[in-house]
Amino acid sequence: MLAYVDAIVRENTITVDGYTTNKTERGIIKDAARAIEKYDKEEAKALLSFLEWGIDEYNTPFVKATNSDGGYFCEYEEVPCATKYNEETDEAEYKEGYHNYFCIRFVR
């Protein structure tokens, strides 16, 4: 399941981030693909193709933003819960059970 998914759409890139209940890399990839599918179906298919080929140190969608040089990156990190700032109430919202935060940017 996904929570607090958001996207920044720019001229040449789309950045999608959110939280997932999945705890494994395979599950995170599936949820990230589902989140980006409404922005780019081909990019979602490409992300899922890593699961077909098998993930290892040479075949991985995970690339750190520091190594991206303004292009593609995909990262995740373990978190205690999902959080989102609500500007209307000036408070943070929390959702328990979401164990990983992910962020992916791809070039159009």
Residue 73 backbone zone (phi > 0: left; psi -120 to 50: alpha; other: beta) = beta
The pLDDT mean for the chain works out to: 94
Note the pTM of the prediction, 2 decimals. 0.90
- Percent pLDDT > 70 in the chain is 100
pLDDT at 55: 87
| Helix then strand then coil, % of the chain, to nearest 5 | 25, 40, 35
> pLDDT tens digits for 77-88?
999 999 999 999
pLDDT at 13: 94
Instruction: Give the pLDDT band (50/70/90) at residue 44.
Output: very high
- Over 90: is that where the pLDDT of 69 sits? no
